[in-house]
Chains A and B, each alone.
Chain A
Amino acid sequence: MIRLQTLISALRVKDTTIFELLGQEFYYGDFIFFPQLTAYLGRIANINTRLVKEVGILSELVYLYAKIHGSIATEGTKGEKFCKTVQMPVLLGDLFLGKFYKTLHEYAREDTLTIYLEFMKELNRERIGQLEKPSGKIFNWIALLTETTVNVLCMLAGITAEEKDILYNAAQNFREEYGTVFHEERITGLSALEQRLQAELY
């Protein structure tokens, strides 16, 4: 199981760390979705491990930024509004976004940036639009980020369009089956997830 702290070096804010600040505002569970997703897809398509890990981390950072900022406008829904104040989520989201750009540079993956930027533009356009004219329609941004992740992985691994469709479907099934659980329910079934993955692959 990959823990968040081992993926990203802690950002220190004077005498504390961003994880302590995060812990004061949210419960972030043990299950890290995007690295698990890319590991799963990497096993399916036999993609280089380092590439899989880097894309997983990059997408997870974008996910954290998007989720934390997304919590600001939602009210009262269990599992959605989980921030105590508005100030810290704004800043923590900004920090994770900055960390995304920095990590992208450290991994020398700048060629993927336009794909991630398209996601961010679409995300914020939709969010703004929903606040201006609420339609009741739910914008599934996690599905969009999943698609973005597949696009990035395929671009870097040189995967064909046909194989990409297979990976795309596998990714969406993975997401629908296991979700992006991060909140109050601790993952007790993670070993079951691993068993299920092994049964599918071997």
Chain B
Amino acid sequence: MLNFFEVHEMKEQLGDVEAYLEDTVGHLPSPTRERALNILRAGGKRVRPAFAIMTASMFGKEKEIIPLAAALEMIHMASLIHDDVVDQADTRRGRGTINALYGDGYAVYVGDYVLTRAIEIVCQQPNSNRLLQIMADLSIEMSLGEVEQLRSAFDIKQTVEDYNYRIDRKTALLMATSCQAAAVASGASEDEIDIFYKIGYNLGMEFQIRDDILDMRSNTKKLGKPAGSDLAHGIMTLPTILVLQQDFAEKEELLQLIENRFSGGQSEVERAIAIIIKQGGLEEASVYADGYLAQAKAYISQLPEFKRKKMLLSGVDYFKERTF
């Protein structure tokens, strides 16, 4: 199984992205600089920059795309910082969140500053007017997705369509935009831009569904947050929604646990997860994820041959097998 993050060329280019990020954040005054760098260095797979680089490589622009790739990661960072305030999360990737350590207002302003710097970088790229339009649409849709997630907490009547609406805006759009923006900045044709958008979109949907499966299957150490934390916060992810569409003996118990908002604590969350797993919720969600992966591969196959096409085709399978 190819982990393309570990391929030498990709590692080198992601290293350039890291250096660019550190340099950009480094212009903040102390102690904000150190706090922001702490978040930056907390890890993260740099998936969005990786896909931007992969896209640009088709046009021979993998070096020129580094600033835009960094800007995309900064947009992602800013959204995570704000999400942590909205979710009132205490930890991310095993570290204290900015809002938990320094307050909600501080976190919001740091997120705003990082986003502003990202937009500045976007404005310096080729086809910047088009890129700005893309980023504006993305920003609005991501916020709408978060609003909907907030409004739908603990709503047991959600459908698969409701879930798709949310994860479309939460994850898929930024992945799609990463590929799309890289294609635009690299001078791609409209057809090529469209294909890359669809590749990113389908991979993003697949990525989020797998993330939601992992949230229930994995453990605290690997996730960097308590297992089942989405469910504990009332976020109905695909495994839960699919199970609630069935009729089975423990359905009433599951509904009660959710409607009581797991008032008994983590043990109730774990009980709910056990029911969902027993009912095959994770396997059923995995089928949906496989569908999006197949769609992404189909779009990749439509691309003309380029140096990293084989790497991309085999590399996307890596996401299916990840455990974190």
B 17-33 contacts with A by CB, 8 A: 28-29, 31-32
Interface residues on chain A, size class:
35 or more
Question: Does B140 lie within 8 Å of A98, measured CB to CB?
Answer: yes
Q: How far is the CA of A124 from the CA of B102 in the complex (A)?
A: 15
B119 CB within 8 Å of chain A: yes
Choose one: B32, B102, B116, B165; the contact of A117 (CB below 8 Å): B116
Give the contacting residue for B106; candidates A11, A121, A131; CB below 8 A. A131
Given known A13-B151, A104-B132, A105-B133, contact A98–B143 (CB-CB < 8 A): yes
Which A113-158 residues have C-beta < 8 A from chain B? 113-114, 117, 120-121, 123-125, 127-129, 131-132
Q: Which residues of B contact A101 (CB under 8 A)?
A: 119, 132, 135-136, 139
Within 8 A of B (CB), among A168-202: none
When chains A and B are docked, how far (Å) is the Cα of A97 from the Cα of B269?
Answer: 36
Q: In the complex, what's the smallest C-beta–C-beta distance from A54 to chain B, in angstroms?
A: 16
Q: Which positions 63-102 of chain A face chain B at CB distance < 8 Å? A: 69, 72-74, 86-88, 90-91, 93-95, 97-99, 101-102
Chain A: CB-nearest residue to B82? A90
Q: How far does the alpha carbon of A13 sit from the alpha carbon of B152 in the complex, in Å?
A: 12
Report whether A110 and B104 are in contact in the complex, using a CB–CB cutoff of 8 Å.
no
The minimal Cβ–Cβ distance linking B207 to chain A, given in whole angstroms, is 22
Q: Which A residues are within 8 Å of any B CB, using their own CB? A: 11, 13-14, 21, 69, 72-74, 86-88, 90-91, 93-95, 97-99, 101-102, 104-105, 108, 110, 113-114, 117, 120-121, 123-125, 127-129, 131-132
B283 within 8 Å of A by Cβ? Answer: no
Taken together as a complex, chains A and B put the C-alpha atoms of A99 and B143 apart, in Å, by 11
Which residue on B lies nearest to A75, using beta carbons? B105
B132 contacts A128, C-beta separation under 8 Å: no
Which B residues are within 8 Å of any A CB, using their own CB?
28-29, 31-32, 82, 85-86, 88, 102-106, 108-110, 112-113, 115-117, 119-120, 123, 128-129, 132-133, 135-140, 142-144, 146-148, 150-151, 165
Contact B151 A87 (CB under 8 A): no
Contact of A102 among B120, B129, B133, B142 (CB under 8 A): B133
Partner of A113, one of B29, B110, B132, B139: B132
User: How far is A90 from B143 in the complex, measured between Cα atoms in Å?
Assistant: 9
> Which residue from chain A places its CB closest to the CB of B144 in the assembled complex?
A13
Closest to B134 in A: A105
Expressed in whole angstroms, the Cα–Cα distance for A94 and B147 within the complex equals: 10
Q: What is the CB-to-nearest-CB distance from A114 to chain B, in angstroms, rounded to a whole number?
A: 7
Q: How far is the CA of A90 from the CA of B116 in the complex (A)?
A: 15
Taking the closest CB of chain B, its distance from the CB of A155, in whole angstroms, is: 16
Question: Are the C-beta atoms of A87 and B137 separated by less than 8 Å?
Answer: no
Can you name 14 A-B residue pairings with CB atoms under 8 Å? Answer: A69-B112, A86-B85, A87-B85, A90-B85, A94-B142, A99-B136, A110-B132, A120-B112, A121-B113, A128-B106, A128-B113, A129-B29, A131-B102, A132-B31
Query: Chain B contacts of A21 at CB under 8 A?
Result: 147
CB pair A132–B32 under 8 Å, yes or no, is yes
A69-B108, A128-B109 given; A102·B140 CB < 8 A = yes
Whole-angstrom distance between the Cβ of B25 and the nearest chain A Cβ: 13
A83 to B147 alpha-carbon distance, docked (Å): 16
| B29 adjacent to A125 (CB under 8 Å) | yes
Return chain B residues, CB-CB under 8 Å to A113.
119, 123, 132
B91 shortest CB reach to chain A, Å? 18
Question: Is there contact, CB below 8 Å, between B140 and A95?
Answer: yes
Return chain A residues, CB-CB under 8 Å to B148. Answer: 13-14
Q: Are B86 and A87 in contact (CB under 8 A)?
A: yes
Shortest CB distance A129–B (Å): 7
Bound Cα distance from A93 to B112, whole angstroms: 10
Contact between chains at A102 and B103 (CB < 8 Å): no
Chain B residues whose C-beta falls within 8 Å of the C-beta of A128 in the assembled complex: 32, 106, 109-110, 113
Q: A188 to B169, alpha carbons, bound, how many Å?
A: 42
CB–CB B123/A90 < 8 A: no
Nearest CB on A from B293, distance (A): 28
Asked if A95 and B137 sit within 8 Å, CB to CB, the answer is no
Partner of B116, one of A14, A108, A120: A120
A14 and B88 CA atoms in complex are apart in Å by 24
CA A28 – CA B153 in complex, angstroms?
27
Alpha-carbon distance between A122 and B50 when the two chains are bound, in angstroms: 31
If A110-B128, A121-B117, A127-B105 touch, does A102 touch B136 (CB 8 Å cutoff)? Answer: yes
Cα distance A49–B108 when bound, in Å?
Answer: 36
B68 smallest CB distance to A (angstroms): 16
Give every chain A residue within 8 A of B82 (Cβ-Cβ). 90-91, 94
